[in-house]
Amino acid sequence: MKQKIKLGEFAPDLDPTTPGIITDCTNFVPTLKGYKGGAAGSDVGLDALASAAVNAAVLLKLDASNRLFAGTATKIYEKSGSAWTDVSSTTYSASSVQLWRFSQFGNTSLAVNKGDYLQYSNSGAFAAVTGAPKAGAMCTVAGFVMVANTNEATYGNSEDRWWCSGYNDYTDWTPAVATQCTTGRLIDTPGPIRGVRALGSDVVAYKDRSMYYGRYVGTPVVWQWELIPGKIGCQSQDCIVDIGTAHYFIGFEDIYVYDGTRPVPIGTPLREWFFTDLDAGYSFLIRGMHDRANGLVYWFYPRSGSVGVLNGCIVYNYKSNKWGVAHRTIECPIEYIVSGLTWNTIPAATWNAWPTSTWDSPYWVAQTETAAYIGTDHKIYSLTGASASSDFTTGSYGDDSTFTLLSQARLRYLAVPTTGTMVNYYQNEHGDTWTTGATTTESNGRFDVLRSARWHKMKFSFTGDIETSGINLDLIAEGDE
């Protein structure tokens, strides 16, 4: 009897007998049609930074041109051709606990961290904004620069305090009704403000276990804050991913989406698995990234025992509502904008050194935004390369009371990999230890096997680009024809 199984989702927390479920995977990400091998990093052709990146951002000016910045512990660098130019105003005090935050205000680029006063640059080097705070969080919204978790002369270190600049004036930080520059505290719940993000013309402030919705109401209040019901929040501004219409973020016990109504959990299929794999002591280092072209949200995180190294990655497709995994070790993610290539800017000296990006990749299209990251070699890599390797493990197929014979497995490919292998695992009592069967190499589009057991599962491993939407199994009850 042939079983045609539509590939479901990566859901290690759910019942493994759920048809189509994926119980484990490596470098396997969801698409609208099924799952594909995760893209390899492709060198975008920029020089390496002088030291490790603490954070980075691409900022868009009013004419749609962009500036790319990378902040290290002591410097801010700006992309200039294929090189990096030091645009620092001083020696800075950023770190993994005092991350750089970058925002664009009209044609002015802004940068801040909790150890350094707000910096601005209209072109060239940054300079400190006179009278502005140091801050652990920042966004621009509705004509204001909003900062939070601040440290400045008047109020000192005030972790639950927010400030907004004068209206349409990033240089004005003197409270006054006329300019609408003002400050306040969010004290209905304990803890520091971890992040502030715009949501349309409004703003959301996140604490560890609470959220506040801020709306502009004009003078004298300027910003009115409403506590959102529920003990839900997050530990870092960087784990909040703004897709334009909603925020996706990782809380203490679950993963959520918030569109201005209420936070909705989305982590059910892998919540327990993820928080077990996460090094909880370093969860404030989680970094999110939006892949707009593919409808994906990436969260890079420190895995258990990594001591703060970003070496894990979960991926959520908000169009198909499915999860995947794309582990790799990075310094920080960045949504990179491709500038387009000329003969003088091709990032290769020979044809053999040509980037691994496919010909239809967004990498080649000027002004296309692509998901990217800064690797441990301090260089930028876009997630546009051909998949190097990937794998996934199915759920359990069989019956508690009947032995079944598995004789063949065939994947429904949408993109055929370079190579494919399958390992059959089997057990005679559900919940018992799995026994490893033989490894089978794909031949003529199928994996042949001969195994009699009550329960079966398969691990498929690939090299090269691959996309699949289902599995066909030859699985019959013993004694059936």
Q: What is the pLDDT of residues 188-233, one digit of tens each?
A: 999 999 999 999 999 999 999 999 999 999 999 999 999 999 999 9
Of the candidates 142, 143, 149, the residue with the CA atom closest to the CA atom of residue 101: 149
pLDDT digit string, tens, across residues 308-348: 999 999 999 999 999 999 999 999 999 998 755 545 555 55
Q: Give the pLDDT of residue 401.
A: 87
Q: Give the pLDDT confidence score for residue 344 in this predicted structure.
A: 52
Closest of 63, 47, 42, 82 to residue 367, by C-alpha = 63
Token pair for 321: 């509502």
CB 472 within 8 A of CB 5: yes
Of 276, 319, 279, 278, the residue nearest 297 (C-alpha): 319
Distance, in Å, from the CA atom of 347 to the CA atom of 335, rounded to the nearest integer, reads 19
Q: Nearest 5 degrees, angle CA 395-CA 397-CA 398? A: 155
* CB contact burial 120-142 (16+ within 10 A = b; e otherwise): bbeeeebeebebbbbbbbbbbbb
d(CA 80, CA 234): 35
Q: What is the pLDDT of residues 225-278, one digit of tens each?
A: 999 999 999 999 999 999 999 999 999 999 999 999 999 999 999 999 999 999
CA angle 120, 121, 124 (to 5 degrees): 150
pLDDT score for 357 = 52
Residues lower than pLDDT 50 in the chain: 342, 363-365, 481
Q: Which amino acid is at 117?
A: Y
Q: Which of 144, 223, 157, 165 is nearest to 192 (CA)?
A: 157
For residue 467, what pLDDT is reported? Answer: 98
Largest CA distance in the chain: 87
Q: What pLDDT shows up at residue 280?
A: 94
**What is the rounded CA–CA span in Å between residue 449 and residue 421?**
12
Tokens found for residue 437: 């069967």
Backbone angles phi, psi at 168, to 5 degrees: 60, 30
Question: Which of 36, 40, 32 minimizes the C-alpha distance to 411?
Answer: 36
How far apart are the C-alpha atoms of 336 and 368, rounded to whole Å? 8
Tell me the pTM: 0.92
Q: Cα–chain-centroid distance for residue 159?
A: 26
Yes or no: say if 2 and 397 are a contact pair by the CB < 8 Å rule. no
Q: Cis link prior to 220 (omega < 30° from 0)? A: yes
